Structure 1
């Protein structure tokens, strides 16, 4: 801390902003940089948290990582999980594509594998842990697939075309690119698998028992 500055002890965001606006902070004296890992995570998606970060962003510099590496445009992706107007007007993001190319299983070693546990309740909780880290829109797409599977237990799965049509009708995916983005996430986390229908169509199914699937829908619906 530069000479003459007093320690800042307040935990109030308003006090912090007032401090940063104050005359004691000279323009070329120093700058504050905050590093935020997984800024697209569920804990930072509520409007209050986003507004606080937006207010701070006008005074400090933010370096953030995005967990969903399938996204090729930060502004597009952040518009899906954050307030769209805020992303474009209150931040000035610069996008750098720097993937580690490590498999999801490396990053998620602390998350129990869904299929590694025969316990129905535990399987549902493991899957819910992954789903709750995804966007609300992705969760809704998963719910469409889950409800179809529960209501058609004798079928190989839900045909992709059927899923796409339903998601369009429910305004969950306006195009196949968006739907494929969600399906890629599901596949990477082993939430959804694909198999060939008897008529040659590719069908999507969730590798959980009906009981585990019902428990999962209750978990993510709370």
Structure 2
């Protein structure tokens, strides 16, 4: 057989293969619904987790003792200007707090709990500046030098000004610093790009040292090369503790538990993200109307169709109906009659949760 004939046969085979796949799936649609998710009461699930017995306690205790023997090495690394990044399976919260209370007694320590849903980063920077200022005044007293004039209150200054103060030459002792201890620097309260940039700038300050833990599998995607090697200047330590994430998990909605609005947001977002961009935009149009008119029974189908036509989301009523059918199949949208007897569409999710869903699918 000639080479050209072989290439034509291979092309025809591949084309027919993908064509059959496309035709075979064209008539299918997902039958999954939110109500199909088998969930239990959150309190019941948490009690079951609390009663789980820990295995290999003796071996784990020996492992933790081996980490404690490294405390002085870790302090030396901080004094040399490195930041400590702890990784490995298991919660490192207890280990890091023990390190801070036993090996960093000569230094001020500020703790950031990254596993919380929201964190006031400016307040953290203000606290760091106040602690550093206290150290400066203490040094001036011990060296019999006149005190620096009182500065502008830190809570009235911008974050950039505060970071500049933390990076200034404020102390005579280069080994004196304020330590920032960050539990789960990859946690939900710190995961956005702007926050990570500010944390990197704080870690790069001459009077600051950072000790942090990571647990998310994609944590390294938070940083670029400059942040890792220059600003954070991480010294990596593999410290698996095999400890349960009891405290950290208290502030996160459990996937298998009935968590009210949090669970509705999670499951609805998962379903919407599996749909086409046009379908998501149609859902957002309905959601925006519902948020803007909370006292109405819903949105008439004709009104939704007009908006979708204006935004070039659908070309016909049939197209819109197919999207609405999919929404109804997943129980994202329901229909009810208003006081005039007109069928209206509404989303059976509280407005607060609905705002969160729109934000999630818009990212």
Interval containing the TM-score (normalised by the shorter chain): 0.5 to 0.7
Higher relative contact order (CA 8 A, sep 6+): 2
| 2:280 pairs with 1:135 | no
- Pair 1:151–1:61, CA change in 2 (3 A): same
Measure the CA separation in 2 of the matches of 1:159 and 1:30: 52
> Deviation above 6 Å: which 4+ runs of structure 1?
29-33
Instruction: Give the secondary-structure state (helix, strand or coil) at the position aligned to 1:203.
Output: strand
**In the alignment, which residue of structure 2 is the partner of 1:195?**
336
1:66 to 25, 30, 35: 25
Measure the CA separation in 2 of the matches of 1:167 and 1:61: 35
CA contact (8 A) 1:124 1:215 kept: yes
- Equivalent pairs counted in the alignment come to 141
Counting only pairs closer than 5 Å after superposition, residues 29-48 of structure 1 correspond to structure 2 as: none
CA contact (8 A) 1:31 1:61 kept: no
Measure the CA separation in 1 of the matches of 2:267 and 2:26: 19
Counting only pairs closer than 5 Å after superposition, residues 4-15 of structure 1 correspond to structure 2 as: none
Instruction: Give the secondary-structure state (helix, strand or coil) at the position aligned to 1:61.
Output: helix
Q: Under a length normalisation based on structure 2, what TM-score does the superposition of the two structures give?
A: 0.34
Measure the CA separation in 1 of the matches of 2:306 and 2:297: 18
| 2:126 pairs with 1:170 | no
**In the alignment, which residue of structure 2 is the partner of 1:119?**
260
Measure the CA separation in 2 of the matches of 1:66 and 1:110: 24
Instruction: Give the secondary-structure state (helix, strand or coil) at the position aligned to 1:69.
Output: coil
| 2:119 pairs with 1:160 | no
- Pair 1:111–1:148, CA change in 2 (3 A): farther
**In the alignment, which residue of structure 1 is the partner of 2:124?**
none
Measure the CA separation in 1 of the matches of 2:10 and 2:310: 52
CA contact (8 A) 1:104 1:189 kept: yes
- Pair 1:214–1:188, CA change in 2 (3 A): same
- Pair 1:169–1:141, CA change in 2 (3 A): same
CA contact (8 A) 1:125 1:219 kept: no
Question: Which is richer in helix?
Answer: 2
**In the alignment, which residue of structure 2 is the partner of 1:104?**
31
Deviations 1:123-170 (A, max 9, x none): 111001111111111110000000000011111111111111111111
Measure the CA separation in 2 of the matches of 1:67 and 1:126: 25
| Structure exhibiting the larger radius of gyration computed from Cα positions | 2
User: Structure 2, unaligned stretches of length 5 or more?
Assistant: 40-256
Q: Under a length normalisation based on structure 1, what TM-score does the superposition of the two structures give?
A: 0.54
The root-mean-square deviation of aligned C-alpha atoms, in Å, is: 3.4
